[in-house]
Amino acid sequence: MLNPSSLYSLESEQSVLGALMIDSQSDIARSVIAKLQPLDFYKREHQTIFHAVRGVVSQKCVADLVTVSEYLEKTNGLEDIGGFAYLGEITKNTPSAANLRSYAKNVKRRSMDRQLVIATTSALEIAQTQIDIPLRERIDAIHSELEAVTQSTMNSISKGLRPLPEILSKVIDTIDERIKNPEAGRGITTGIAELDAILHPKGIIDQGLVVIGARPKMGKTALIIRILEHVGVELDKPAAFFSLEMPDVEITERMLSQSSGVSSSVFYDRRGVKNEDWGKVVIAMGHLATPNILIDDTPAQSLREIAFEARKLKRQRGNIGMIAVDYLTLMKTEKAERNDLAYGAITKGLKALAKELNCPIFLLTQLNRNLEKRHDKRPTPADSRDTGQIEQDCDYWIGLYRDDVYHDDCKNNLNAMEISVQLNRHGNTGTALAGFMGGRIQPMKNPDAYAPHRDQERQRSFSEKYGQKPY
C-alpha cells in the first residue's frame, strides 16, 4: 500500500525556498527557478512562496526575506502563508544553500510521483466508470493521462547550457571508443549493399527519422520488410513494425517469401510447387524465428499509441534496433485546422520519440498523385509537402521508383528499383539500385545495364514533353 507521506517532503520544499531566499542570484538558483513550477510543491503555502520568489526575480530584484514578504503583501498572500514569521522560520531552518540542487531534485521527483499517482487514478476511473464510452476512446483518454506525465518527465531532465570544453571532453571519449571499436559509433545498416555504400560510414544513425516516400506499387513495404529482417536477424537487434495497412499474417508471408526467395503464391496453392522450394520456406521459417522482430497490425493507431508500445519495448528489451511505421496518412491524427498541420505534429512527435528512445524510426509515406503528371516521375521530397513539414523534420528522405510500373515495355526486363537518398543530414546522397521481383528485394543482377536504360527513359520523357530529342 502506498504511503501518502512518501509523495512529498516538506523539509525539502522548505529547504528549496529557504536557499532561494538566502541566495537567489547564483547560477544554481536561477536554474532551479527556471525548472521548478509552483505545482511541484505539495503544500499550498509553499506554492505561493515559490511563485512570489519567481515574481521578485522576474523584476530583476534579489529575492530575500524582505522582498518576498513585500511581494506577498502586495498580492494579499502574506497572511495566507503564515506571515513574515514563517518566511523567517524557513530561512533559519535551511541547512545550507549549497545543497539547493539536491533539495530541488527531491522536490521534483516527489512531484512526478504525485503526477503519476493522479494519472493512474484517473485512468482507473476512466476504465471503471465511463463504460458508456467506446473502448477505443477510453484507451485514448488513458494514454493521454499517462502521456502528460511522460512529457512532464522529459521536460524536467533538460541538461541546460554547457560550456564547449565539457562537451569536447565527451566527444574525445566517443572518438576514442570508435577507434577501438569502429562498429560501436555507427548506426544500423540496411542489408542492401548499394544503399549501405551511400550511407557509409555512419549508416542510419540512432535518433534519426527516416522517411521513405513513393507512389503505390513501388515497393515501400517490401523495402522495409527487408530492412526489418536485416536488423532483427542479421544485426540481432529488436525491430518493431507498426503496420496500419497490412495484417500481420500477410506481412509474415512476405517476410518468408523475401527470406526464402520463393514466391508467396506457394502459401495459397502448393500444386506444382517443388519440394526444393518448400524446403527453402522451411529454412526461412527457422531463420525468422526470432523474438527480435515484433509486429503490431492495429489499424488507425495514433502517435500516442505507437509511442506507448515503443516505450514499453524499450523498458523490456533495452536498446532498440529500429522502429517502422507503415504509413503516415493511415495514422490517427489529432484535431487541427489543416491536414498538413496534423501530419506535421506526427512527424515532429516521431522525431522526438526517436531521440527519446535512441533508435532510428522509419516512416513510410504515400506521395501525392500529382507527381504522376510529370514526365519524369521519380519522387522528390517536395512531393511529400502536403503531409506536413516532412523535409524539415526528417534526417533522411528516401524516394523509391520503378520504371516498369509506368512502362509496359520494361516489364520482365530489368526489374529494377531505384532507391534514391535525396536528403541525408549526416552524409552522402545518391541512388542505389536493387532488383525487385515478385514483391522481393534482391541484388541487381546486371546493374551496369540499367544506366543506359535510365538515360533512355529520361530521353523518352523529354521527347514526350517537347516532341524532340534532348540533343
| 119-170 tens-digit pLDDT | 888 888 888 877 778 877 777 777 777 777 766 665 555 556 677 877 777 7
* Mean pLDDT of the region 212-228: 93
Element (H, E) at 239: strand 239-243
Query: Is 205 within 8 Å of 426 (Cβ atoms)?
Result: yes
pLDDT at 207 over 80: yes
What is d(CA 204, CA 186) in angstroms, rounded to the nearest whole number? 8
* Mean pLDDT of the region 210-224: 93
The pLDDT score that the predictor gives to residue 354 is: 94
What is d(CA 55, CA 68) in angstroms, rounded to the nearest whole number? 9
Where exactly are the structural domains of the chain? 4-156, 193-466
Cell numbers at 74, concatenated: 502586495
The pLDDT score that the predictor gives to residue 228 is: 96
Percentage of the chain lying above the pLDDT 70 cut? 87
**Fold of the domain built from segment(s) 193-466:** Rossmann fold (3.40.50)
Cell numbers at 151, concatenated: 512529457
Cell numbers at 97, concatenated: 544553500
Query: Is 221 within 8 Å of 257 (Cβ atoms)?
Result: no
Is cis: bond before 327, omega within 30 of 0? yes
Range list of H helices, 23-159:
27-35, 44-58, 65-74, 83-93, 100-129, 135-156
SS3 355: helix
CA angle, residues 249, 252, 255, in degrees to nearest 5? 155
Among candidates 150, 117, 118, 113, which has minimal Cα distance to 9? 113
Burial tier of 352 (Cβ tally within 10 Å: 0-12, 13-18, 19+): middle
CA angle, residues 74, 79, 83, in degrees to nearest 5? 100
The pLDDT score that the predictor gives to residue 308 is: 86
* Mean pLDDT of the region 334-351: 83
The pLDDT score that the predictor gives to residue 462 is: 35
Higher pLDDT, 188 or 116: 188
Query: Is 65 within 8 Å of 84 (Cβ atoms)?
Result: yes
pLDDT at 395 over 90: yes
The pLDDT score that the predictor gives to residue 409 is: 61
The pLDDT score that the predictor gives to residue 272 is: 64
The pLDDT score that the predictor gives to residue 403 is: 86
- Which residues make Cβ contacts (< 8 Å) with residue 429, sequence separation at least 6? 198, 421, 422, 423
The pLDDT score that the predictor gives to residue 135 is: 79
pLDDT at 339 over 90: no
Percentage of the chain lying above the pLDDT 90 cut? 44
pLDDT tens for each residue of 347-379:
999 999 999 899 999 999 988 888 888 888 899
Instruction: Please give the CATH number for the structural domain made up of 4-156.
Output: 1.10.860.10
Q: Which of 109-113, 240-244, 371-375 has the lowest mean pLDDT?
A: 371-375
Amino acid at 354: A
pLDDT at 203 over 90: yes
The pLDDT score that the predictor gives to residue 460 is: 43
Cell numbers at 75, concatenated: 498580492
Starting at the edge strand found earlier in the chain, the sheet holding 209-214 runs 293-296, 239-243, 322-326, 361-366, 209-214, 396-401, 416-424, 430-437, 440-442
Amino acid at 262: V
Among candidates 288, 302, 303, 314, which has minimal Cα distance to 206? 314
pLDDT tens for each residue of 271-297:
667 778 888 888 999 999 999 999 999
Is cis: bond before 134, omega within 30 of 0? no
| Residue 451's pLDDT band (cuts 50, 70, 90) | low
Residue ranges with strand state E in 285-429: 293-296, 322-326, 361-366, 396-401, 416-424
pLDDT tens for each residue of 48-71:
999 999 999 988 899 999 999 999
Higher pLDDT, 225 or 166: 225
pLDDT at 404 over 90: no
Q: How does 4-37 read in b/e, with b if 16+ C-beta sit within 10 Å? A: eeebbbeebbbbbbbbbbbebeeebbebbbebbb
pLDDT mean across residues, the chain: 84
The count of residues in the chain is 471
The pLDDT score that the predictor gives to residue 468 is: 41
